[in-house]
Amino acid sequence: MATCGEVLVNLLEGYGVDQVFGIPGVHTVELYRGLARSSIRHVTPRHEQGAGFMADGYARTRGKPGVCFIITGPGMTNITTAMGQAYADSIPMLVISSVQSRSQLGGGRGKLHELPDQAAMMAGVAAFSHTLMSAAELPGVLARAFAVFQAGRPRPVHIEIPLDVLVENADALLGSEPVSVARAGAAPSAVKQMSQLLAAARKPLILAGGGAIDAAPELTRLAEALGAPVALTINAKGMLPSSHPLLIGSTQTLVATRALVAEADVVLAIGTELAETDYDVTFAGGFEIPGALLRIDIDPDQTVRNYPAQVALVADAQFAAEALLAELDRQPLPPRNSTWGAHRVARLWAELTPTWDAATRAQTLFLNTVLEALPNAVIVGDSTQPVYSGNLTLNLDHPRRWFNSSTGYGTLGYALPAAIGAWLGRGDGQPVVCLIGDGGLQFTLPELASAVEARVPIIVLLWNNHGYEEIKKYMVNRAIEPVGVDIYTPDFIGVAKALGCAAESIKGVESLRVALRAAVDLPGPTLIEIDQCLWMTELAL
């Protein structure tokens, strides 16, 4: 007899799942019954939040959903934060959990791991949460989940399976086939309207977000055809090569870039929420789009949020960009404005570059040193000072190589487990760097042991400023006496070595280069500690 749990594993294999993150428990062992016989690899984190962050990092580098097996009750409350991060950034994640037997649901009888309504709790951080009331529902609900991942706005999906359903006879489902759903094409009428406005524009501009990440070649061609400057959100970094003359980077929170955006007569926003943390990180308002706004998004709800559009198109970003290019090829474009395009972008960078303060320059040098030593590295960031600087100053040549938790949901502790997942998702053995502060690392420090156990050779760059330095500055700037920000800093080198990692402290640029090159050749994780004060002092000498 094949149980529901065993058939689930078979179906996941059919959908191309090759990796699962989870911590086995008495309520999830039936999910594992068929796992050892499958081709799916299992990685055990040290906390369910780590499982969710690993799945998130895996999804960002692999481009397909990360999958978690999570236990009832505390397992689900633990993973909620990771699901919230993925929900905010539109990351595909499939969370499969157990739940009390059908006759016990909502019973309040004090059962092990019992919650009053687990599915309702998860609904706020998921595209949907579904309770499987019979094994027969399994193929259909998995088809719904992968339809979201394949053709909708990709966000977490939660499927909970009652304990009695997990062991139900599911022989009849062994022949079930995975379902494939195509993404929405671009409506010709909207494409024609948009292309006419873009063709007539004297100063067109493009705002591209993570939702357009798979349309990088088409977006580049579109920008070049229009002579349009391009601003990228943090999750879209790398869609245009770093040296591209039309690249504004991710500087749209700065006054000078806002002025450039305000000059544009037509703005095409594609795959972006136009939300606060990418466009108004000062939290004081001021980002404006006076020109005609055109919006393209896979989510119809998103096309009418934050900034109203003159023309909105619900479509896959790649299909829409291809359709716009084809339509623009059929109509004449006006002479390019000689003061716009690459000329205007060059003026912007000439204005911005001298304004970086000493800390930003030092942290940018730090990041550039990492990329010089490891040119193919993916950098997974937390909420820490060099990440904030890199969000503004760093540009990369390919997408899916820079992402972090400093925007959107803004979770601390994200980078370490997400980097583990990113290395597994990347699958090419190339370096993955975790960039994290001393405060954030203490949220998920035990996941170093997970990386050792899984033989995942991530490089953890610990930026140590001995506390919550950015929050401390924020309190001081608001005339609040700092409380709770000067936290105890443990011996990270000793802790990392005790957990099985290679570890060392470095001071300057050359020692960082040497440490990075040595770390690449190791079979497991390495922690490299950079003391902020020593780094700044070394650069000043």
| Residue whose structure tokens are 């978690």 | 68
Same domain, 90 and 195: no
Same domain, 105 and 160: yes
pLDDT value of position 541: 45
pLDDT value of position 510: 92
- State which H helix or E strand residue 286 sits in: none
pLDDT value of position 335: 81
Which tens digit of pLDDT belongs to each residue from 34-54? Answer: 898 999 999 999 999 999 999
Which tens digit of pLDDT belongs to each residue from 189-218? Answer: 999 999 999 999 999 999 999 999 999 999
Question: Residue 78 domain-assigned?
Answer: yes
Which tens digit of pLDDT belongs to each residue from 469-494? Answer: 888 888 999 999 999 998 999 999 99
- pLDDT band (50, 70, 90) for residue 115: confident
Which tens digit of pLDDT belongs to each residue from 403-460? Answer: 999 988 989 999 999 999 999 999 999 999 999 999 999 999 999 999 999 999 999 9
Answer yes or no: is pLDDT of 10 > 50: yes
Q: Cβ distance 136 to 169 under 8 Å?
A: no
Longest dimension (CA), the chain: 74
Same domain, 297 and 394: no
Same domain, 323 and 362: no
Q: Cβ distance 263 to 347 under 8 Å?
A: no
Please compute the mean of the pLDDT values over residues 134-141 and round it to a whole number. Answer: 96
- pLDDT band (50, 70, 90) for residue 117: confident
* Domain finish residue from 114, 145, 173: 173
pLDDT value of position 508: 87
- pLDDT band (50, 70, 90) for residue 59: very high
pLDDT value of position 361: 93
Q: Which two tokens stand for residue 141?
A: 């609900």
Same domain, 343 and 367: no
Question: Residue 181 domain-assigned?
Answer: no
Answer yes or no: is pLDDT of 348 > 90: yes
Helices and strands of the chain, counted as H and E runs:
21, 18
- pLDDT band (50, 70, 90) for residue 281: low
CATH, residue 94? 3.40.50.970
| Residue whose structure tokens are 């010089």 | 372
How far is Cα 319 from Cα 323, in angstroms, rounded to an integer? 6
Please compute the mean of the pLDDT values over residues 7-29 and round it to a whole number. Answer: 95
Encode 249-270: b = buried (16+ Cβ within 10 Å), e = exposed.
bbbbbbeebbebbeebbbbbbb
Which tens digit of pLDDT belongs to each residue from 367-397? Answer: 999 999 999 999 999 999 999 999 999 999 9
- pLDDT band (50, 70, 90) for residue 284: low
Please compute the mean of the pLDDT values over residues 286-303 and round it to a whole number. Answer: 94
CB within 8 Å of 110: residues ≥ 6 apart? none
Answer yes or no: is pLDDT of 282 > 60: no
* Domain finish residue from 326, 353, 380: 353
Question: Residue 178 domain-assigned?
Answer: no
What's the domain range around 236?
188-353
- pLDDT band (50, 70, 90) for residue 105: confident
Same domain, 164 and 139: yes
* Domain finish residue from 128, 143, 173: 173
Q: Which two tokens stand for residue 11?
A: 């179906």
Backbone angles phi, psi at 527, to 5 degrees: -110, 125
Task: Residue 483: count other Cβ atoms within 10 Å of its Cβ.
Answer: 8
Encode 434-443: b = buried (16+ Cβ within 10 Å), e = exposed.
bbbbbbbbbb
Answer yes or no: is pLDDT of 222 > 70: yes
Per the DSSP assignment, residues forming a β-bridge with 437 are 463
Q: Is 94 helix (H, G, I), strand (E, B) or coil?
A: strand
Nearest to 518 by CA among 534, 494, 502: 502
Answer yes or no: is pLDDT of 74 > 70: yes
How far is Cα 539 from Cα 526, in angstroms, rounded to an integer? 24
Same domain, 62 and 207: no
pLDDT value of position 34: 87
Same domain, 169 and 208: no
Q: How many separate domains does the chain show?
A: 3
Please compute the mean of the pLDDT values over residues 290-317 and round it to a whole number. Answer: 95
Same domain, 315 and 242: yes
- The C-alpha angle with vertex 450 and arms to 444 and 451, in degrees rounded to 5, equals 100
pLDDT value of position 116: 85
pLDDT value of position 106: 76
Q: Considering Cα of 238, then 242, then 243, then 249, what sign does the dihedral take?
A: positive
Mean pLDDT, all residues of the chain: 93
CATH, residue 252? 3.40.50.1220
Question: Residue 182 domain-assigned?
Answer: no
Same domain, 268 and 133: no
Which pTM value belongs to this model? 0.95
Q: Cβ distance 72 to 26 under 8 Å?
A: no
Same domain, 218 and 328: yes
Amino acid at 433: V
pLDDT value of position 101: 78
Q: Which two tokens stand for residue 258?
A: 């806002």
Same domain, 104 and 122: yes
Answer yes or no: is pLDDT of 535 > 90: no
| Residue whose structure tokens are 């205007």 | 344
Amino acid at 245: P
User: Cα 257 to the chain's mean position, in Å?
Assistant: 24
